[in-house]
Structure 1
Amino acid sequence: MSTPENENTPTDADVSEDAPQEAPPEEQLDTSTTEPEDMSQQLRSENADLQDRLLRTQAELENFRRRTQKEAIDAIKYQALPIIRDFLPGVDNLNRAIDAAEQTGDTQTLIDGIKMVAQQFKDALKAHSAELIDPLGDAFDPNLHEALSQVPSADHDPMTVLQVVEPGYRIHDRVIRPAKVIVTSAPPAE
């Protein structure tokens, strides 16, 4: 009884020592030369594809860097644009108030126009999160106030803001300009 493995295996009688067992020449060509050549060609193709993708990715990254850098420069360059747009109507109205006062000679019109413009400027500052620091009557805080002078007072505690010479402003928790104030000091001892 023969097994399938033994059916294709040559026996001693089938193989002679004079005739070496070799595949026909066409089969040798197919197995020995074309497979490595195909594999080599496939590897070259994959390599070229990967190099192409690498170059494209590097180019995209460089374009992204340039675009991001340009956007950052533009953001810094034009960061004041919204604020300027908000202040221009106030400047225009101030000029109109001056023109109207010159034509009519009425100072009350000028005063009313200036008050209107001042309110526009305050509204524009508030729209950009700028808060007024007006510490009249508060205790002196060196983080928010700049003391210009001290005045002796028996009516107030020492280091109380007695007068605001110039109001301060802050955005959120950062002081833009401290309020310039006059503070009290202890009265002189008698």
Structure 2
Amino acid sequence: MDRIQPQSAELRRLLDERTADLQRVKAEYDNYRKQVRRDRMAVREVATENVLRALLPVLDAVEGARRQEALSPGLQAVADVLETQLGSLGLKVFGAEGEPFDPLCHEAVTHVVATEAEGLTCTEILSPGYRVGDRLLRPARVTVTGPPPAGGVVLGGRTEAGHGGEGLQAPPGPAALRRGS
């Protein structure tokens, strides 16, 4: 009987080791499954964004046709289905006249100076912006009205802007260019 006791203890130790190994492998497998699920969702989101970004010119063409004239019933039906389906994929349109200018989601194309204005406001939407969830697909291209840019050069009440609102700052003068700034 004395011999059975040490064997039993040894078996218990081996069983505990194998149980710990099994629990560790199970935890690693669970973590792996969760990572694969996250990766698949990320790939799906990127693929959805790429498809939606590729269809933005189609939405622009439909909007351009609407501006020209009323759409025919057939084209209106196609436009409605397209917009509904893209909305079901999470596409959101933004950019409205009167919104405060936000350089993170608006691209200022033109700046109209209004000395009485307290802040920059989007006064004309040249093309809407689009996002999926919190990810920006395309900024809204806008005309901005507001106070003159700090140290800016204003000609005829309008300041031409570059991409992403860069034109809201004055371009460097000749002295700055010579310095290499």
TM-score for both structures, normalised by structure 2: 0.52
The Cα of 1:136 is off from its aligned counterpart by: 1.9
1:62 alignment counterpart: 28
What is the distance in 1 between the residues matched to 2:48 and 2:105?
A: 26
2:37 alignment counterpart: 71
SS at match of 1:54: helix
Q: Which has the higher contact order (CA 8 A, sep 6+)?
A: 2
1:131 alignment counterpart: 92
Equivalent positions of 1:1-190 (< 5 A) are 34-35=1-2, 37-79=3-45, 111-151=72-112, 159-171=120-132, 175-184=136-145, 188=157
Unaligned regions of 5+ residues in structure 2, if any? 59-68, 148-155, 158-181
The Cα of 1:71 is off from its aligned counterpart by: 2.6
Equivalent pairs: percent with the same residue? 23
SS at match of 1:78: helix
**Which amino acid letter does the alignment assign opposite residue 21 of structure 2?**
L
Q: Are the counterparts in 2 of residues 83 and 128 from structure 1 also a CA contact under 8 Å?
A: no
The Cα of 1:56 is off from its aligned counterpart by: 2.2
Larger Rg: 1 or 2?
1
Number of matched residues? Answer: 133
What is the distance in 1 between the residues matched to 2:84 and 2:47?
A: 17
1:18 alignment counterpart: none
What is the distance in 2 between the residues matched to 1:49 and 1:115?
A: 71
Q: Are the counterparts in 2 of residues 167 and 180 from structure 1 also a CA contact under 8 Å?
A: yes
The Cα of 1:185 is off from its aligned counterpart by: 5.4
Unaligned regions of 5+ residues in structure 1, if any? 1-33, 95-107
**Which amino acid letter does the alignment assign opposite residue 95 of structure 2?**
D
What is the distance in 1 between the residues matched to 2:139 and 2:76?
A: 23
Considering only aligned residues, what root-mean-square deviation do their CA atoms show, in Å?
4.0
The Cα of 1:170 is off from its aligned counterpart by: 3.8
Residues 92-148 of structure 1 show CA distances to partners (whole Å, capped at 9, x for unaligned) of xx9xxxxxxxxxxxxx9x854443333223223433444321322444343442210
What is the distance in 1 between the residues matched to 2:133 and 2:49?
A: 17
**CA separation of 1:84 and 1:147: change in aligned 2, threshold 3 A:** closer
What is the distance in 1 between the residues matched to 2:114 and 2:74?
A: 38
TM-score for both structures, normalised by structure 1: 0.50
Q: Are the counterparts in 1 of residues 49 and 137 from structure 2 also a CA contact under 8 Å?
A: no
